[in-house]
Structure 1
Amino acid sequence: MDHFEIVQEMFPQAEVYVYEEGASIQGFIGLQEGYIAGIFVSGEAQSSGIGRRLIHFAKGIRSQLRLDVYPKNTRAVRFYQRESFEISGEHTEQNTGEREYSMIWKRQ
């Protein structure tokens, strides 16, 4: 998994919400206040609406959400834009030197 160490450091400080089907975890989202520290959906469950459900859950408990995403991850950028996130800035991620978009969603 990319950035495993970073995720491992962040998640003890985050609220983690899990999407389960039966006894199997299909995905999860980690929130630090209004920041989405990570959202993950298992490979076989991708494109089945789980990511959207996790985002909608987070929108139900927060009035504003923020996240950072690599522009080269066009699939993720499009997903967040479909979920009404807007690009609010661009910066270079410290650990990788990669460009990142900052994106934000606010309840209307």
Structure 2
Amino acid sequence: MITGAHPAVAYKILTGEQFERLLADGAFKGAPVDLADGYIHMSAADQVQATLDKHFAGQENLRIVAVDLTVFGDGVKWEVSRGGALFPHLYGDLPLSGVLSHAPVERDRSGSVQLPG
């Protein structure tokens, strides 16, 4: 459940193919790990860098989508995951209408990931 303690925006990292599917289908049903776990894994802004480094190292043609969590109500649950931190999990499809913005994965000079504006 979303409370005032949690941000209203989360981020999902997609491969280029997954992003194209989101655009073509109007919704993203999940990556293989999402389908296996029964929810779409997302990250808060301060978790994106570690998620990218851990799960997408060496991959190219990646996109980050900013997701408006307020439109999903109880469909988003903040649950304990990596290192005991709470991560946003979307129980259901991610419709394109829930995407606020998107951008290719890019890093600044220090190597930090730039989030879509």
Same fold (TM over 0.5): no
Q: Which has the higher relative contact order, 1 or 2, with Cα contacts under 8 A spaced 6 or more apart?
A: 2
Return the TM-score normalized by structure 1: 0.30
Q: Which has the higher strand share?
A: 1
